[in-house]
Structure 1
Amino acid sequence: MSTAYLITPLSKKIPVDENAHYIGVDAGSYRILEQNLKIEYAIGDFDSMSEKELQGLKKICPVYQYPVMKDETDSELAVLKTFEKYDTVILYGALSGRLDHTVLNISLMIQKYPSIILMDETQKVRVLKKGRYELKKDYKNISFFALEESEISYSGFLYSLDHRKVSISDLYLTSNSLIQEKGIVEIHSGSLLCIQTNEK
């Protein structure tokens, strides 16, 4: 399975994955180069970069430039193009900075691209649909939020559930943690937002 990291300008320490490809979202392209990682291509309107920086970038990798005045965000354009080639797309730095941008990225995932993963240095957000998942003990806290009428089971957690039916109004599946090296989550029906975080 092919994996791509979309690196946004707010990315700080980018995880090194030898099996993944790195794609720059606007000025996030320079975050990739600063960490001496190979960049596949760059995409965005590049309004946050100088013309000299943009021309320099074009000498390093393919650049897909879009108008500043557009309906889509740079992140959405990047996600759309990246799914043409890659199976797993991780939007990195998507949970940092302005709250409206964070909400926009989460909405983008829920409403249009439920298979993308949102990450930054301390948090990870994804949509879990019907299926079985293993969660490693990489994060201190794990929360679930139903996106529709759903049924969920999980074990290996401080608080476990067995075939619990939950709705959007149920807000008690928060601030859980693993008590084993990995937890098993099974979505029997519906879909839930899974938020893993090391933030205090």
Structure 2
Amino acid sequence: MKYIIYGGGPAALIPATEDIIERHGRHVRWIGVDRGAFTLAESGISMEKAVGDFDSVSRREWETIKTAVQLPEIYPPEKNETDLELAVDFAEKQKPEQIVIVGGTGGRMDHFLSAVHLMEMSRSYLTIEDKVNRMCSLEAGLHCVSRSSFPYVSFLPATDTVEGLTLKGFRYDLSNRKLTKKSTLCISNEWNYTEAEVSFRTGRLLMVESRDMY
């Protein structure tokens, strides 16, 4: 079971729903967040849940949302959690194999950084994706990763230090290196083979796959 959480970020960076389905399959479950719920409803996507204060949608748009969702939930604008956090919390309770956030990048930076924090703290495998980026968080250990359509791959420490970082199968391999938050050593690496390995002993690592926008 896989959940797609569809936010209300800039449309220019959000993959088309057809592309999301092609990548993740037709049997994904959809959660619309605030105005993202209207975009899904307008695209003919049925949602399992829609969450938010919905202050960015008109009355007509809200009626459209209600035709496409099983569980619409309106929250007050003044609350302790962001709309995205409420969506992630619901998805995690369903114990999915993966949660994918789209529409969470390219807008307000505070919203994007809060999405990254949610990814780092998630109990599930959670990725943040848009047309030019895909990001996930890796725990200490060995990770076998497959080459994707994104030409660049970067690694950034989510903790103060990452110990024993080893990269195999990339253009720039590493062996047993210490990576700190002030380091840019692992920015803009590239794939060298169809399969690669990432391993480290301690810490937490962000893996960002990307392509240029132009």
| TM-score, scaled relative to structure 2 | 0.84
Higher alpha-carbon deviation: 166-175 or 73-82: 166-175
Q: Aligned runs of 1:49-128 on 2, under 5 Å? A: 49-61=57-69, 62-85=71-94, 86-110=96-120, 112-113=121-122, 115-128=125-138
After TM superposition, give the deviation of residue 124 of structure 1 in Å: 0.9
- 8 Å contact kept, 2:41–2:67: no
- 8 Å contact kept, 1:6–1:25: yes
Q: Which residue does the alignment assign to 1:141?
A: 152
After TM superposition, give the deviation of residue 32 of structure 1 in Å: 2.0
Distance 1:93 1:59, change over 3 A: closer
- Aligned pairs, how many? 198
Task: Say if 2:16 is the partner of 1:13.
Answer: yes
After TM superposition, give the deviation of residue 155 of structure 1 in Å: 1.3
Secondary structure, in 3 states, of the residue corresponding to 2:93? coil
Q: Distance in 2 between matches of 1:136 and 1:38?
A: 32
Query: Which AA in structure 2 matches 1:13?
Result: A
Secondary structure, in 3 states, of the residue corresponding to 1:72? coil
Query: Which AA in structure 1 matches 2:3?
Result: A
Q: Distance in 2 between matches of 1:173 and 1:46?
A: 40
Q: Which residue does the alignment assign to 2:177?
A: 164
After TM superposition, give the deviation of residue 196 of structure 1 in Å: 1.0
Q: Which residue does the alignment assign to 1:130?
A: 140
Higher alpha-carbon deviation: 61-70 or 112-121: 112-121
After TM superposition, give the deviation of residue 140 of structure 1 in Å: 1.3
Structure 1, residues 158-191: CA drift from partner, whole Å, max 9, x if none?
1001222222232211110102223222233221
After TM superposition, give the deviation of residue 104 of structure 1 in Å: 2.4
After TM superposition, give the deviation of residue 12 of structure 1 in Å: 4.4
Q: Distance in 1 between matches of 2:54 and 2:207?
A: 32
Q: Distance in 2 between matches of 1:13 and 1:6?
A: 14
Query: Which AA in structure 1 matches 2:131?
Result: E
Higher alpha-carbon deviation: 170-179 or 160-169: 160-169
Query: Which AA in structure 2 matches 1:103?
Result: L
Structure 1, residues 66-94: CA drift from partner, whole Å, max 9, x if none?
11111211111111111111232111121
Q: Distance in 1 between matches of 2:42 and 2:66?
A: 16
Secondary structure, in 3 states, of the residue corresponding to 1:71? coil
- 8 Å contact kept, 2:170–2:191: yes
After TM superposition, give the deviation of residue 98 of structure 1 in Å: 2.4
Q: Which has the higher helix share?
A: 2
Superposed CA RMSD in Å reads: 1.9
Q: Which residue does the alignment assign to 2:32?
A: 24
Secondary structure, in 3 states, of the residue corresponding to 2:39? helix
Secondary structure, in 3 states, of the residue corresponding to 1:42? strand
Query: Which AA in structure 2 matches 1:45?
Result: D
Structure 1, residues 52-78: CA drift from partner, whole Å, max 9, x if none?
321332233220111111121111111
Please point out which of 25, 28, 42 is paired with 2:50.
42
Task: Say if 2:172 is the partner of 1:173.
Answer: no
